[in-house]
A and B are shown apart, each in its own frame.
Chain A
């Protein structure tokens, strides 16, 4: 029996984050793909509160919520550090993850998924919020410094998913003209082996995301 199992969904950025963390540490795991429209009894057993992916099972003990799972992985297994060791840098990394998940990512999602005025307002908000990330990445290869770290992993929606969404929806939000440093990070990020080898193929992703780019689609929603 595998010691480590991951219940996930290939198209969920939150699920893919955990896979990146496991791969970074070289942890072997069994992956179980969940059909989110027909959740398995095991998923409901291991995450009864939120009933969501991803869920990590380590020696039969479940851990839910991607950021919490990633910190657990960092604390449990040897290998490259995902979070900084310095308390202040650690606090800043956690701050940026929260910002990405609760503010920036949400606004970016609404910018393409919400119709009419709501979408326009979200686009303006997202444009403002991205400026903070643009400032933060200045002079750095990755948010984690020389190497990919917690914030880079958490920014996978911005680094990969959003590029495809922009194309489908004909949205011009994250552009080289407005965010040269952030776009440079995106280029480095999607070409990094950890990211490249661990993402769904672009054409498959486009297929999955296309229906979501129809205004007013209320299916897949970002996990907040």
Chain B
């Protein structure tokens, strides 16, 4: 039986982009359905009743939620091509640890950059940059977080890059100034088609958050 793979997603979602990158890395055929987050589809609400969020991967009618869980699922099921998680358990634990770090210490303050102002914005920007520096240190001299190969932590982190321009413009800072090696890494990843075709356009992201800021009064 041929696999039926459907992804419920949203163009601007960094979480959704991770799944798109993983699916592209593995060369998996899938149907993509863009959700209107202001008017969520019945299938999204059925497939993710607890969180009602994207991304949701539906594989042969079974839903999997939470982007990092989905990426690990994809890696385990389609293990023949482009392994994402390292084979060594310790390296795997480190990749997972840093992916969680990206969630809690980079994504969360990043969100505050465009939803707050004044002191709160300044605090969030500072935490964001400090965390990026720690992530950059973890990269070291390797081309990717996965070492010689593009791996799980690269997938988990690269989607932030599509939002860098928006963060920098709103937060009034330059990421390249603080983390030049991280920018080099991001550009290296963008040379991969699986990445460049999956990430949202940075200028579109910026326009999108400007519209959201206006709509929700985050100005």
Binding site for B on A (CB under 8 A): 49, 58, 61, 63-65, 68-69, 71-72, 75-76, 87-88, 90-92, 94-95, 98-99, 103, 132, 224
Is B100 among interface residues, defined by CB-CB distance under 8 A? yes
Contact A65 B76 (CB under 8 A): no
- Within 8 Å by CB of A88, from B50, B64, B101, lies B64
Q: Which residues on the A side are within 8 Å of B72 (C-beta)?
A: 90-91, 94
Knowing A88-B64, A95-B65 touch, does A71 contact B96 (C-beta < 8 A)? yes
- Within 8 Å by CB of A49, from B73, B89, B134, lies B134
Contact A68 B93 (CB under 8 A): yes
Contact B93 A63 (CB under 8 A): yes
Contact B93 A72 (CB under 8 A): yes
Q: Which residues on the B side are within 8 Å of A87 (C-beta)?
A: 73, 76-77
The minimal Cβ–Cβ distance linking A90 to chain B, given in whole angstroms, is 7
Contact B93 A95 (CB under 8 A): no
- How far apart sit A145 and B104, CA to CA, in the bound complex (Å)? 31
- Within 8 Å by CB of A99, from B50, B77, B101, lies B50
Most buried by B among A58, A61, A92, A95: A95
Residue in A closest to B131 when the chains form the complex, CB atoms = A49
Q: Can you identify 11 A-B contacts, CB atoms within 8 angstroms?
A: A49-B101, A63-B97, A68-B97, A75-B92, A88-B59, A88-B64, A90-B73, A91-B64, A91-B69, A91-B70, A95-B64
Knowing A49-B134, A87-B77 touch, does A68 contact B69 (C-beta < 8 A)? no
Is B66 among interface residues, defined by CB-CB distance under 8 A? yes
The minimal Cβ–Cβ distance linking B155 to chain A, given in whole angstroms, is 16
The minimal Cβ–Cβ distance linking B116 to chain A, given in whole angstroms, is 20
Residue in A closest to B57 when the chains form the complex, CB atoms = A91
Q: Which residues on the A side are within 8 Å of B69 (C-beta)?
A: 91, 94-95, 98
8 nearest CB pairs, A to B: A75-B89, A91-B73, A87-B76, A72-B93, A63-B93, A91-B64, A94-B69, A68-B96
A-contact bits for B84-113, CB 8 A (1 contact / 0 none)? 000001101110110011001000000000
The minimal Cβ–Cβ distance linking A96 to chain B, given in whole angstroms, is 10
Given A88-B59, A94-B72, 16 other A-B contacts at CB below 8 A?
A: A58-B90, A61-B90, A65-B96, A68-B93, A68-B96, A72-B89, A75-B89, A88-B73, A90-B72, A90-B73, A91-B73, A95-B65, A98-B69, A99-B50, A103-B50, A224-B104
Is B197 among interface residues, defined by CB-CB distance under 8 A? no
Binding site for A on B (CB under 8 A): 50, 59, 62, 64-66, 69-70, 72-73, 76-77, 89-90, 92-94, 96-97, 100-101, 104, 134
Q: Which residues on the A side are within 8 Å of B73 (C-beta)?
A: 87-88, 90-91
Q: Which residues on the B side are within 8 Å of A90 (C-beta)?
A: 72-73, 76
Residue in A closest to B62 when the chains form the complex, CB atoms = A88
Q: Which residues on the A side are within 8 Å of B70 (C-beta)?
A: 91
Q: Which residues on the B side are within 8 Å of A68 (C-beta)?
A: 93, 96-97, 100
- Within 8 Å by CB of A71, from B59, B65, B93, lies B93
The minimal Cβ–Cβ distance linking B176 to chain A, given in whole angstroms, is 24
Contact B97 A64 (CB under 8 A): yes
- Within 8 Å by CB of B97, from A65, A92, A98, A224, lies A65
Contact B90 A63 (CB under 8 A): yes
Residue in A closest to B98 when the chains form the complex, CB atoms = A49
The minimal Cβ–Cβ distance linking B141 to chain A, given in whole angstroms, is 20
Residue in A closest to B138 when the chains form the complex, CB atoms = A49
The minimal Cβ–Cβ distance linking B97 to chain A, given in whole angstroms, is 5
The minimal Cβ–Cβ distance linking B153 to chain A, given in whole angstroms, is 13
Contact B66 A95 (CB under 8 A): yes
- How far apart sit A207 and B134, CA to CA, in the bound complex (Å)? 39
- How far apart sit A49 and B133, CA to CA, in the bound complex (Å)? 12
Q: Which residues on the B side are within 8 Å of A94 (C-beta)?
A: 66, 69, 72
Q: Which residues on the B side are within 8 Å of A64 (C-beta)?
A: 97
Residue in B closest to A86 when the chains form the complex, CB atoms = B76
Q: Which residues on the A side are within 8 Å of B65 (C-beta)?
A: 95
Residue in B closest to A74 when the chains form the complex, CB atoms = B89
Most buried by A among B70, B72, B134: B72
